[in-house]
Amino acid sequence: MATDKTQHLQQVLETHRMAHIEKLLDKYKEKRQEVKEALEENYKDKIYNPINSGSYAKHTAINIKFDLDIVVPFKRNSFDTLEEMFNDVFDFLYEKYKDVAEVRKQKVSIGIIFDADDNGDEINIDVVAGRELNQDQYTEDHNLNLFVNSQYGLLDEKTYIQTNIQAQIDHIKGKNNERSIIRLLKIWKTTNNESYKSFFLELITIKAFDKESISGNLWDKLKSVMEYIKENITKDNFTLKDPGNTNNDVADTLEDWEKTNLSNKMSNMISNIENNSDNIKTYFPINEEFEEEDENKGQYGLKDASIVAPSIPNKSQQFG
Amino acid sequence: MGFHNIEEINNIVSTIPFIDVLEKFKQVGIFLEGKTSVNLEGLNESLNFDVQIFPQYPLKSNDSEAIKFINKDLISYNHVMGDGSICIHTLHSPKLKQKLLADFESLKAWIEKYYINKNIDSHYEHVIINEQPFDDIYYSYQFTDVDYSFSKGEFGQVDLTPLSNGIYKKKPISNFLIKSFQPLKKTIKINSKWSEYYMNFEVKNIGLFLFLEDVPAFHNRFAFSNWLELENYIPTDFLQFLYDFQKRNKKHKNTFLPIFFGYKTVENEIHWISTLVKINEIPTIGIPVIDSKGVKLKGQWESKLINRKINWAITRNSSYKYLFGRGTFCDKITNARILIIGVGAIGSMVAKTLVKCGAKNISIVDYDVKEPENVCRSEYNFSNGLYDKTFELIKTLQENSPFVNVNFHNNNEYFESFIKAFHKDKEAKKEYEKSLNQFDIVFNCSTDSDLMFVLDQLKLSTDLINLSITNHAKDLVCAFYPNIYNYVQNQFINILDNDVDDLYNPTGCWSPTFKASYNDISLLTQYALKEINRKYEENKPKDNFTLSINSGNNTNIKFTQY
């Protein structure tokens, strides 16, 4: 039976809403507040007010995989070097949480993964330490330099990047159509174990809406964005400017072969879904945990009535 | 009755511009025989050839041309056989004129390439050996690589293990493998690099070896045919060794003793050829030692070779390079440690194909037994009767390649039930992950959705590949970890037409199975394996795909990449 693609996608978005995991989210927020306060207490007037960032702040979060991010803006004179700042924040967090969490250095942030609680919930908080470029400049434009932990970077030398978290958050403000598509692509990425970065998918979706006239129902919009990616990602002059720093080209984070693979993938997805609408369920699955049950069927939780027979293999039976 | 129109042949040959007819073709027995002379630019003087045409001409016979160009003076040149005939292979043509012209053109091409320009082929041409039976029985010896560098003149004992007896060129044959070499003056045993299975075979016979280093052949191509020709190749201490051996084994005087001679070919590769001699007929004679003044030294004798024909037995280089020289999967697959979970129709075909394509390390796991009715669409044999699937398959795989080590994995029959019971336990889960991650590739051919679900939950660094088909082998689904469970479920439930009504009911309680023949299943399995090999070879992304048989007017297979 054919699937109504837009109806399905709406259900996908609905079942992946953060609202379904309010209790868990509260735990996250609590932990984030705790970390924030610890940082404020430790660094006092060396820092400006830490801010929330990441997908939750941008309203692009999905409930199957997320973390909460804190950006800690350091004043220019707090540390001599960015590396010292990065290591100091790591040492502080490590000492504070080593018994209750795994604290690790990541590419530009420090990850804290708190041990699972009694309900089996693991909480991830990412801390991004940045330093203003010049004395008192942060309050004016929010530009920060981040330390790049070299083992993750392409460069051998330890280096830094300039960014502007606030500009990144502002970049997506009010863009509700874009947000839906970004969330769908993040659901695709997460459920199909694709390695593309969320920030990359976010920027390319916004650019697609910017460059093309994207309209119609949810599937039409998603398809247009996928077609935009398919057509443009492999072009030589294609760039994705980081709104936090226009000198950063986020498209550069993909190798040429990765761009080709992504283009092919988009092409396969579109044609497979168009050929058989049920394929949409492979690429964009519903989060069954929060799927509303159809109470009219009277199957007390058994979804597929056709499997009720004494011993007949159902359609999911593999052979060979 | 003649087989050919002699006049027509003579007319055609007389029109070839670079040919002078010295003697026209005439019937001699069943052959046509004539003499021709070839004149070409670059030749100082013309080359004469006896030409012999067989009754089958212009058709080939037993893959050989039914025409021979013979000149015994050319024997030292490339691609000339022992009887002086030039080895040519030309186009197929049933038309006499076209074939004759092509064959003479081919002769001309040989003269230009090998006689005038003295070209050397890029590939190695092995020595031509006239293989003979001994007392009407053929003996064959297969050898492979060893991790040892023989030195010139090194000799000792060879351990042989019997393979099987059969029929070869209508005569009985005894086949052997060379298992190891034991140089006389050393305490080491040099093992052949066969798989564990073959290395565990018992040594039933022995032979002797001598590493000559140089090729015991005329023109590097025609193996010597008389023992005297080996005089400058065989050191006297080996002759003494032969004599001592003969003395020690007098009671086996009528037993054949294989003697292997080794030499280097290309890239330091070693080739062994073998002759058999009866122990009481070792081709040496004792002669008195003479001092510098020509006086016999009393009581001192030395062995000399005698004038006797050498009969060569059969040897084959069956090293990995030669055994799989005609085609394999890519190195990333053949060198991989591979596990196959479930060895039913698909699993047994995957296993056998991997082995035939050069895989060296395979483990298998399955709890099931083979019933006679499994035989028709899997790689199991009727002759074995009822058998545990894994036990029979291991045997089959080992019989197919002497370079694959095949093992059971993880308690074999308990793997599936244990992993399902214990996968939620943190420690057990880690252990399963560890045991699966020791493989480079894991094929799950179990078609067990529960097991597929469990495996998809594990944190794996191995490449897990799930293969299954729909009823009637209409479609094949190939999924790669970590995108297996949801993808396969959606394919079977929503996308593919999996007809679960028309099933086959064998004997037994509620055990319907799918309908499909060996041909149906192997067609899709081979296609899938080809695509999987391509993904590894070309470093393509391991994305899921399906194959669907489209039976319209013709049989088509639709490939869908996800």
- For residue A225, the domain's CATH number is 1.10.1410
Q: Could you tell me if residue A132 is inside a domain? A: yes
Element housing A280 (H / E): helix A280-283
Same domain, A138 and A180: no
Substitution target in A65, A291, A318 with the highest count of B β-carbons within 10 Å is A318
What count of residues does chain A have?
320
H helices present in B292-388, as ranges: 320-323, 331-334, 345-356
* Interface check A313 vs B, CB under 8 A: yes
Closest CA to B452 of B468, B438, B433: B468
At which residue do the structure tokens 């039914």 appear?
A: B66
Contact between B500 and A314 using a beta-carbon 8 Å cutoff = yes
Cα separation, B88 vs B86, in Å, equals 6
Number of domains chain A contains: 2
Same domain, A281 and A250: yes
Q: How far is B352 from chain A (nearest CA, A)?
A: 15
Contact between A272 and B469 using a beta-carbon 8 Å cutoff = no
Query: What pLDDT is recorded for position A157?
Result: 54
Whichever domain contains A115, its CATH number is 3.30.460.90
* Interface check A314 vs B, CB under 8 A: yes
Contact between B500 and A191 using a beta-carbon 8 Å cutoff = no
Q: Could you tell me if residue A311 is inside a domain? A: no
Contact between A193 and B483 using a beta-carbon 8 Å cutoff = yes
At which residue do the structure tokens 């330490």 appear?
A: A129
* Interface check A4 vs B, CB under 8 A: no
Residue that is last in its domain, among A123, A140, A166: A166
Same domain, A146 and A192: no
**Neighboring chain B residues of A263 at a CB cutoff of 8 Å:** none
Longest CA–CA span in chain B (Å) reads 101
At which residue do the structure tokens 């088909």 appear?
A: B469
Q: What are B271's strand-pairing partners?
A: B263
Q: Could you tell me if residue A250 is inside a domain? A: yes
**Neighboring chain B residues of A282 at a CB cutoff of 8 Å:** 486-487, 490-491, 495, 562
Low-confidence ranges of chain A (pLDDT < 50): 153, 298
Residue B84 CB neighbour total at 10 angstroms: 16
The answer to whether the bond into B482 is cis (omega within 30° of 0) is yes
Q: Residue type for B435, please?
A: S
Same domain, A159 and A260: no
DSSP A69: E
Q: How far is A61 from chain B (nearest CA, A)?
A: 22
Instruction: Say whether pTM exceeds 0.90.
Output: no
Substitution target in B495, B501, B521, B559 with the highest count of A β-carbons within 10 Å is B495
Cβ atoms of A62 and A182 closer than 8 Å: no
Closest CB from B449, B513, B541 relative to A316: B449
**Neighboring chain B residues of A268 at a CB cutoff of 8 Å:** 543, 561-562
Q: Could you tell me if residue A154 is inside a domain? A: yes
Residue that is last in its domain, among A121, A150, A166: A166
* Interface check A5 vs B, CB under 8 A: no
Q: Could you tell me if residue A185 is inside a domain? A: yes
Q: Could you tell me if residue A314 is inside a domain? A: no
* Interface check A260 vs B, CB under 8 A: no
Same domain, A23 and A162: yes
Query: What pLDDT is recorded for position A153?
Result: 45
Q: Could you tell me if residue A212 is inside a domain? A: yes
Splitting chain B (562 residues) into consecutive groups of 10 residues, what average pLDDT does each group show? 85 95 95 95 93 94 90 91 89 92 94 91 85 96 96 96 96 98 92 97 95 92 93 93 91 92 92 95 88 84 91 96 97 98 97 98 94 94 94 96 93 81 90 95 96 95 97 96 94 90 77 91 98 97 95 89 95
Torsion of CA B41, B44, B45, B49, to 10 degrees: -70
Contact between A282 and B486 using a beta-carbon 8 Å cutoff = yes
Residue that is last in its domain, among A166, A185, A208: A166
Same domain, A219 and A277: yes
User: Residue A188: which domain range?
Assistant: 173-286
* Interface check A319 vs B, CB under 8 A: yes
Same domain, A240 and A281: yes
Query: What pLDDT is recorded for position A302?
Result: 60
Same domain, A157 and A188: no
Q: Could you tell me if residue A130 is inside a domain? A: yes
**Neighboring chain B residues of A264 at a CB cutoff of 8 Å:** 561
Same domain, A142 and A54: yes
**Neighboring chain A residues of B448 at a CB cutoff of 8 Å:** 318
Domains of chain B, CATH where assigned: 6-116 (3.10.110), 138-322 (no CATH), 327-561 (3.40.50.720)
Closest CB from B468, B510, B561 relative to A318: B468
Closest CB from A3, A285, A319 relative to B486: A285
Same domain, A185 and A229: yes
Say how many CA atoms lie within 13 Å of B168 toward its Cβ. Answer: 18
Same domain, A183 and A156: no
* Integer CA distances (angstroms), B228 to A195, B222, B287, in order: 73, 15, 15
Same domain, A129 and A150: yes
